[in-house]
Amino acid sequence: MRDRAHKLGAKLINGTVHKLEIPNNDKDPYVLHYADHAKEGLQGEAKTLKVDMVIGADGANSRVARAIDAGDYNYAIAFQERIRLPEDKMAYYEELAEMYVGDDVSPDFYAWVFPKYDHVAVGTGTMRPNQARIKELQRGIRARAAKRLEGGEIIKVEAHPIPEHPRPRRVVGRVALVGDAAGTVTKSSGEGIYFAAKSARMCAETIVEFSNSGERALSEDELKLYIKRWDKEYGLTYKVLDILQSVFYRSDASREAFVEMCSDIDVQKLTFDSYLYKTVVPANPLTQLKITAKTVGSLLRGYALAP
C-alpha cells in the first residue's frame, strides 16, 4: 500500500511523530514535530512539517489522538506467539483457524490458533489484563493446542492493546482518526485489519470528495461526514457484536451455550456471511426466528443467564 501511494505521488517520510502543534484558528497549518529516520541512528533527525490536515493512523497508542484530546476507550490486551510448525503440522491449519473458549484460556474473550501464510499465530486476549495473568492464559492455549503445535519454533512474540470501543471524538478540527487510533476493532471477533483499512479508505474518499482535488482543506463538519457514513454502514454490526460478547463471553456456562449455538448450520451460515460481507446479513424471518429460539434454548440449558 505504501509503495502504491508513493507511485501515485505521495511523498514518503520514515519518521516518528513526537508532537502535533494545533493552530488556534481554522486557517493556520498544523505543525508535526518528528524524528526523521532517513539517516542511520535510532534517534533520527529532529524536523517539523506544516500541513493543512492530519489523518491519525498511528494505532492504539495514538499520539495524534492524545494531541487532539480524542478521549479514551476501554481496551483488551492481546498476546500472541508466532510459531513456525513442521510441514506436516502446518498442513493441518491449511484450511482452518481455531478459536478456544474457557476460563483457562481467557476469562472474557477467546484464544486462537490462526494460520498466517507460512506459520501460525497462537494467542489470547482479555479485558482484565496483568502480566502474570496473560502469561498464565497463554500457557492455557499452548496446553490446549499442544499436540498440534509439537515441534514448533517461536519466531516472534507480540502484545498490544485492542480497542473495545470507538474514541469519544474521532474528528476534531481538521484532524481525523482512523483504524485502531479511532477504535474500529469489532467486538466478539477482535477483527481490526479490515476495519482499519476500510475506515482509512472512507476517510480518504470523503477528503477527495470535498477538497476539490486537494485544492482546499475540509472543515470539521465536512470531515465529520466520514464518521457519519462509517456509523451508518457499520453501527449495527458493532452493536450486535457488542451484545454477543457481553452475553456469551462472561462465563464458562455462557461460552458453552455459544459453542452449542455455533454448531447449528443456520448460525454458521449467518456468521460466515456476516464475516464475509462485513454486515449483519439478515436471514429470512423464519430462519431468524429459529436462530433466536435456539439461542435462548442454549442459554437456558447452560444456565448462562444466571448471575
Q: How far is the CB of 276 from ligand FAD (least distance, A)?
A: 13
Contact 83, 152 (CB under 8 A): yes
Q: Which of 67, 75, 80, 175 binds ligand FAD (CB under 6 A)?
A: 80
| Contacts of ligand FAD in 109-168 (CB under 6 A) | 114, 123, 158, 160, 162
Residues 218-237 that bind ligand FAD (CB under 6 A): none
As a whole number of angstroms, the distance between CA 192 and CA 243 comes to 18
Q: How far is the CB of 116 from ligand FAD (least distance, A)?
A: 8
Q: Is 153 exposed, middle or buried (0-12, 13-18, 19+ CB in 10 A)?
A: exposed
Cβ proximity to ligand FAD: between 6 and 301 the closer is 6
Q: Based on CB atoms, which residue is closest to ligand FAD, 125 or 302?
A: 125
Minimal distance, residue 49 CB to ligand FAD, in Å: 12
The strands making up 45-51's β-sheet, listed across from edge to edge, are 15-21, 30-36, 45-51
The residues, ordered by sequence, that sit 6+ positions from 236 with a Cβ below 8 Å of its Cβ are 279, 280
Question: According to CB under 6 A, which one of 54, 55, 57, 227 is a site residue for ligand FAD?
Answer: 57
Angle value at C-alpha 76, between 182 and 275, nearest 5 degrees? 70
Which three three-digit cell numbers place residue 249? 463471553
Size of the site for ligand FAD (CB under 6 A): 23
179: left (phi over 0), alpha (psi -120 to 50) or beta: left
Stretch that binds ligand FAD, among 85-93, 186-194, 274-282, 283-291 (CB under 6 A): 186-194
Contacting positions for ligand FAD (CB under 6 A):
16-17, 57-59, 63, 78, 80, 114, 123, 158, 160, 162, 179-181, 185, 190-194, 196
